């Protein structure tokens, strides 16, 4: 397994920290392209409908 080093946008880290995310998690999420707390919503309303997923029928 190769470790992939990613750039971390400081504004995204700051925004996530201001939303109450732990600083380490904010850095990890920002490095993976998460810019706001809305992208971390794990509610059912944000899930894709099963019919739209290929290979699930």
Q: Classify residue 48 by its DSSP letter.
A: P
- pLDDT confidence of residue 57: 66
Count H helices and E strands in the chain, helices first.
Answer: 2, 0
Contact between 14 and 20 under an 8 Å Cβ cutoff? The reply is no
- The domains of the chain are located at 10-52
Distance CA 14, CA 30 (A): 9
CA distances, 56 to each of 44, 48, 51, 53 (Å): 18, 12, 7, 6
Residues of the chain whose pLDDT is less than 70? 57
- State the pLDDT at residue 14: 96
């Amino acid at each position: 397994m190769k470790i992939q080093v990613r750039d971390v946008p400081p504004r995204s880290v700051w925004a996530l920290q201001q939303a109450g995310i732990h600083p380490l998690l904010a850095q990890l999420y920002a490095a993976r392209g998460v810019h706001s707390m809305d992208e971390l919503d794990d509610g059912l309303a944000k899930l894709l409908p099963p019919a739209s997923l290929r290979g699930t029928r």
